Amino acid sequence: MTADSSAPARMSPAAATEAPARRERELAEPVSLTRPNGRLNTDAIGWARQPLVDTSGIGRGGGRNKRWEYWNVITPTHILALTVSSIDYAAVHEVWVLDRVRQRTWGRNATVLPARGVELAPRLEVGPARARAKDLEIDIDEVEGGTRLRARIPGAEFDVVAERPDGHERLAVVVPWTASRFQYTVKDVARPARGSVTLDGMKRDVPAGQSWAVLDHGRGRWPYDVAWNWGAGSGISNGRVIGVQVGGQWTDGTGSTENAMLVDGRLHKIHDELAWDYDVANWRRPWRVAGGSLDATFTPFYNKISRTNLGVISSKTDQCFGHWSGTFRTDAGELLEFDGITGWAEDVHNRW
């Protein structure tokens, strides 16, 4: 189990599998996340296969708004990541690159107080995202057929297009804590990626057909103290394009989950809360994530450890990269076996 004693107790995998089936509401039409008074629009609670929710009501000020774009690109030889975010009182950005072969990293974090040098669109794919800070530049732009990701820090830069195939579905979920605390997330996995990464002046390909991008788009108003798990993976197994999207802790008890599997571009929603069995103190031990129609094992090969403690603001993250394997039964009843799906699983505790 998680080594973080502040996290809630987790149910056993068997209990998760045996829990009564439930279904969340699927959204089919565009809807606003907020009402005119800024509180949660209950008509937005549910999930969708596309980013249907208008988040323009999540603006600056108030101290609790959180807005971000996180992109991760995994190639056969490298892992690339960028974050553009505003948490009202600060802009928090990161660019990070891992050479998987040499286990060497390049990274730059920037916390800008008060928030400035950051641009985030009011809703997904209607405008660019940009970050500027000392020794850090990030540009995210929608282009024909996908999203262009550009980032630059000392010693490292990359220019990648995350393609969006025709008919590609993504998981959009509104998670309600209260009328004044809620989150809209879009988890977009298994986006084919292509481009280049340049490290210490040496340019390398992000090879098409072998590289995958994942997006975490977030807009909401968060509680001060929160913990979560997030797992994602993308790849090809047994001739099928597989995307893994699983989460936990932060959605417990809300009636919403961020759990789904993507199979050949089609989203299969998992309505159950999942059981996570792992130990961050022994992170190389395989993690197990199970519930509903999913039984998955995650085998890590690298742990990206991040710790921040600024008194009232703190963050503890173990983001482990590795490979997913397991079984999943689709909406049509097909039992899929998958293996070698590269991605990550993380344990996070924030006070923010």
Q: What is the residue-level pLDDT of the chain in tens, covering all 352 positions?
A: 333 433 333 443 433 444 445 689 999 999 999 999 999 999 999 999 999 999 999 975 566 899 999 999 999 999 999 999 998 888 999 999 999 999 999 999 998 988 899 999 999 999 999 999 999 999 999 999 999 999 999 999 999 999 999 999 999 999 999 999 999 999 999 999 999 999 999 999 999 999 999 999 999 999 999 999 999 999 999 999 999 999 999 999 999 999 999 999 999 999 999 999 999 999 999 999 999 999 999 999 999 999 988 777 788 999 999 999 999 999 999 999 999 999 999 999 998 8
Cβ atoms of residues 31 and 42 within 8 Å: no
Cβ neighbour number for residue 27 with a 10 Å cutoff: 20
Range 184-194 burial, b when 16+ CB lie within 10 A, else e: bbbbbbbbbbb
Distance, CA of 281 to CA of 148 (rounded, Å)? 37
Distance, CA of 3 to CA of 279 (rounded, Å)? 6
**For 25-34, which contacts have Cβ atoms below 8 Å and span 24 or more sequence positions?**
26/269, 27/52, 27/53, 27/172, 28/52, 30/54, 32/56, 32/57, 33/57, 33/58, 33/174, 33/182, 33/184, 33/219, 33/220, 34/58
* pLDDT recorded at residue 308: 83
Range 53-81 burial, b when 16+ CB lie within 10 A, else e: bbbebbeeeeebbbbbbbbbbbbebbbbb
**Which pair of structure tokens corresponds to residue 66?**
């959180």
Distance, CA of 119 to CA of 127 (rounded, Å)? 9
**Which pair of structure tokens corresponds to residue 305?**
């450890």
Distance, CA of 144 to CA of 136 (rounded, Å)? 26
Distance, CA of 217 to CA of 122 (rounded, Å)? 11
**Which pair of structure tokens corresponds to residue 178?**
């209260």
Range 283-310 burial, b when 16+ CB lie within 10 A, else e: beeebbbbbbbbbbbbebebbbeeeeee
* pLDDT recorded at residue 207: 98
Cα 32 from chain centre: 22
What is the three-class DSSP state of 42?
A: helix
What DSSP character marks residue 43? G
* pLDDT recorded at residue 314: 85
Look up the pTM and report it: 0.92
